[in-house]
A and B are shown apart, each in its own frame.
Chain A
Amino acid sequence: MGSCHLILVLMKPIETPFSTIFIGFEQAYIYVWVSLEYKFMYVGMTNSRVGTLGRANQHLDMRGTLRERFLMEFGLDIDTVSDLRLYSFPLPKSYLFFSVESTYREAVEYLVQKQLLEMISQLSVKYSIISRVRSNERTRNSRIRNLANEIIIQLIKNLPQPNETDQRLIGRIS
C-alpha cells in the first residue's frame, strides 16, 4: 500500500467567547441579537437552563423564531448574515425573574424593545427591530424600568461602531 498524503489547510479559527451565557441555573436573561451588516436587532428573554447560548440554538434551528423573523423581514436565510452578535444581560438572581411565571422578565423585555423603538432614530446606525414582544402590568414597576434602562445603556455602549451621538444618547436615558 502506498502512503496517503493529506494536505491540511489550516484556517484561522473562529474564536467565540461564551463567558457564562450557558449558565441558566437560577438565572434568566434579556438578550439582543444585532447585525450591523443587515442593521437589525432582535430582543428576547429566556430562563433556559442552558442560558442564552442554549436559547440561541433554538433561535437558529430550522424553525427557530430568529431565523423565521429574519426570513420574513429580509427574505433571506439567516445564514447570509456574517456578523451576528449576541448581547446577553443577566437579570437579578431571583425567583421573580427566573420562575416559569414570566411576567417580570417579560416586562423588562417589553420595555427594552419599546425604548429601542423610540430611540433607534437617534442612534448613529438605524436598526430595524424584528422581534415581537408582549406587554403586561409590571411595566410600570420602578425596578423593572430601571433594569430596562440599564440594559439599554449597556447595549448602546457596546454596540458595534458607537460614536459620540450614541454616547450623548446614553446620557438622556433616565
Chain B
Amino acid sequence: MSQVDIGIDAGRLLFGLSRIGYTTTSAICDIIDNSVRAQAKNIHLIINKERDDLADSRRNNVSEYVIIDDGSGMNDNGILEALKLGASDAGYEENSLSKFGLGLKSAAFSQADLLQVISSDGTGFNKYWVNLEEVIQSKKYFATKGPLDESDNELVHKYLPKKKGTIVRLSKIRKVNHPSVKNTIKELTLKTGVIYYYFIAENNLNIYLTGNKVTPIDPLFTDEADTNLDETVWDGTKVKWIEKEKSITIDGEEGIQIKIEATQLPHPPTFNLKEPGTNAAGKIRDKYLIGSGNYGFYVYRNKRLISWASRLEGIIPMDQDFFSFRGRILIDDSADDYFNIDVKKANLTLSDEAFNSISDFIQEGKAKSKKAWLRAGTLIKEITNKKPNEVSNNIVDDFEQIDLLPGDKLLEEGEAKERIEKLSTDMAKLAKNVTKMYKEDLGEEVSDDQEFTEEDIKNAIKGDNPSAEKIFRVSSVEDNNLFEPYWDTDKEECVRINKYHRFSRLIFEENGENAGLQIIFELMLLQFAESEIYAYKNIPDSNYDEIKRILTEYRRISSEFLANMVRKLDGQLPPNFGSNETN
C-alpha cells in the first residue's frame, strides 16, 4: 500500500468556503465571537467608506471593516494558527464559542478579498495578511508578514493603549449588492444586542459600532414579565411568563440537559384600539421586535445566540397566531450533537431526542400562547363587532317556542306539578355539579361537600358570557357531553354548550371565521335542549325518570358519535373539506 498526495487547490477551497452564505452582519458577528473568546472587554467596529462624502444610506460604499478588541491577543504563532484553515481547538477554553476553526477565514472572505490580522499578547504587535486573489492565483494557501502601517499604529494608539489585543481588517470589500453602512449598523445594533445579550448584560462586555455603544436586548423581555400567562384573561397589553426557566433532560442516558423558558409578548393591534390614530401598534412591534422573522426560539450556546427565532423544525408552526411567542433555550457544548450547528453558527437541526423533548415540553405553552393571541384578537372583535354568542342570544331574546305541539295533550295538573318539581331538583343538582367542575377548570381546589354562593353558580351556569340569557358557552358539561339543557323558573329553557368538545371546537375554533355557522349551531342546540325539557314536562305515556334516562343516554351517545366522527375525519371537515382533492 502506498499513499499518494493528491493535493488541494487552496484558492478554490477558500473561494468555496467564502460562499457558504454569510451575510455582512453574520460575518462580523463571527469575528466578534473571536474577540469575546479572547475575553475582550471592549470591542470596536469601524466602517471605512469608499467615498466619505456619500451618505451612509448608499449601497456598495464600504471600503473596509475594522474590528478591534482588547482581549488576550496573539503572538506570532497565534496569528498563524488563527489564519490556518481548520484552526486548532486545542487552546480553546471550556465553553468556547468556536467549533470548527473556520469562522474567521470563511466570514472574512465572504465579504472581502483581503484579511489582515494585527495582534499582540503583550510582547509586541505582529501583522499578517491573506490575500484571496493571490491564493487563487498561486493555488497555495499562505499568509504574508509585514510591518504595521501608519493607520495600524493609529488604531493601536487609540484603542489598545495596553499594547495587547487584536485588530482584524477586512479590506477590498466586494461591491456587488453590498449593504449600506446605515443598514449594516442598524442590523448589527439589533443583532449584537440580542446575540451577545448575556456577555453585555452579565460580563461587562462593551461593543461599539462606529462609536455607539450597543445595549443588551433580551428577546424575551423577561424583566417585564410579572406573572404567568392566563390565556383566558390576558388583554394583550403586558409581557407574561409562558414557562419560567426550567431544566429538561433531552437524553437521560447521557445526562444531557438544556434550560428552556418562554414569554408572551404584547399583542400590537390591541394598542391601536387603546390609542387610535397614533400608530401605537407599530411602536409596540418595533419595541418588542414583533414580526414574521422574530417569533420562535432563541437558542444560546455557551450564552452566544446561535439561532434567531428558530421554529425548531416546526415545533413552533409558521403561523402568525404565534407572533407573541418567544422561547429561549440555553445549551452548552455537551448538547452539540443534539443541536447540530453549521459552520456559520446560524442554522441548527435538532436530533430526534431534542425535538421530542422540547416539542412535548412546550406544547402546553404553545397552545396557551396561541389561545392568548386569538383571545386578544377576539377582544378587539368583541368591541368592534358583536360576537356570535351575543348575536344568537339576541336572536332568541323575544322568541318563544310552541307551548304544546299539535296532537299533544296537557298533563293532569298533579302530574305536571310533580314533573316540574323533579325537573327543579335535577337542575339544582346539575347547578351544584357544574359549579364544582367550573371551579376546577379555573384551577381551584374544590371539596365534594363545598357550598357555593349564588354568584359562583351563576358564573358556572353562564360560562364565558355573563350577559347571555339562553345560550351559554361553558368549559364543562356533565359527562363531557356536547351540550346539556338547563332550566330554571327565571331563565326557563336554556342550553349549556361544552366549548371544549371536539365538535364544538370544530365549529368555534376551526370555523371561527364563520360567524353564521356558529350562530346556527348555537340556535340548533338551544332547540335540542328545549325539546328535551318539553319532553320532561309534556310526554304523557312514560314517567319522568324513564324519559330522562333515555334522553340523557341519547345525548351521551350522539355526543360520543360526533366526537368520534370529528376525530376520524380530521382534516376532511370544513373549513378544510375538499383540500386534498386533486384536479
Question: A132 touching B441 by the CB < 8 A rule?
Answer: no
Contact at B252–A138, with CB atoms within 8 Å? no
Per a CB cutoff under 8 Å, which of A128, A142, A144, A145 touches B252?
A128
Chain B contributes a number of interface residues (CB within 8 A of A) equal to 42
> Per a CB cutoff under 8 Å, which of B249, B363, B475 touches A110?
B363
**Per-position 1/0 for B474-494, Cβ under 8 A of A:** 010001110000000000000
A146 neighbours in B (Cβ, 8 Å): 445
B347 to chain A, nearest CB (A): 23
A140→B480 contact, CB < 8 A: no
**0/1 string, A104-147, CB within 8 A of B gives 1:** 10000010011001101100011111101111111111111110
A126 touching B356, Cβ below 8 Å: no
A95 close to B (CB within 8 Å): yes
Chain A residue with minimal CB distance to B363? A135
* Docked complex Cα distance between A96 and B361 (Å): 25
Do residues A133 and B480 form an inter-chain contact, with CB atoms below 8 A?
Answer: no
A143 and B440 contact, CB distance less than 8 A: yes
Which of chain A's residues have a CB closer than 8 A to the CB of B481? 101
B498, chain A: closest CB distance, angstroms? 9
A99 within 8 A of B: yes
Nearest A residue to B248 via CB reads A117
Q: Are A101 and B559 in contact (CB under 8 A)?
A: yes
B413 within 8 A of A: no
Docked Cα-Cα span, A101 to B359, in Å, equals: 24
Return chain A residues, CB-CB under 8 Å to B560: 99-101
* Residues of A close to B253: CB separation below 8 A: 39, 126, 128
Interface residues of B, dominant DSSP = helix
Q: How far is the CA of A135 from the CA of B560 in the complex (A)?
A: 20
| A61 contacts the other chain (CB 8 A) | no
Interface size class of A (residues with CB under 8 A): 35 or more
Measured between alpha carbons, how far is A144 from B357 in the docked complex, in Å? 22
With A100-B563, A101-B480, A139-B364 known as contacts, the answer to whether A127 contacts B443 (CB < 8 A) is: no
For the complex formed, measure the closest distance between the CB of A44 and the CB atoms of chain B, giving whole angstroms. Answer: 13
Q: How many angstroms from the CA of A90 to the CA of B248 in the assembled complex?
A: 27
Most A-side CB within 10 Å, residue of B359, B361, B363, B446:
B363
Query: B363 to A95, Cβ gap below 8 A?
Result: no
- Docked pose: A130 CA to B556 CA in angstroms: 35
Minimum Cβ distance to chain A for residue B315 (Å): 12
Interface residue A62 (Cβ < 8 Å from any Cβ of B): no
Q: Give complex CA distance A96, B476 in Å.
A: 10
User: Is there contact, CB below 8 Å, between A142 and B446?
Assistant: yes
Q: Are A118 and B246 in contact, with the CB atoms below 8 A?
A: yes
Asked if A72 and B443 sit within 8 Å, CB to CB, the answer is no
Residues of chain A having any CB pair with chain B under 8 Å: 39-40, 72-73, 94-96, 99-104, 110, 113-114, 117-118, 120-121, 125-130, 132-146
With A121-B255, A142-B444 known, 7 other A-B pairs at CB within 8 A are A39-B252, A72-B352, A101-B560, A117-B360, A121-B248, A127-B252, A132-B356
Q: List 22 A-B contacts (CB under 8 A).
A: A100-B563, A101-B481, A103-B502, A117-B248, A117-B249, A117-B360, A118-B248, A121-B247, A121-B248, A121-B249, A121-B255, A126-B255, A132-B359, A135-B364, A136-B367, A137-B367, A137-B371, A138-B441, A139-B364, A140-B441, A142-B440, A142-B443
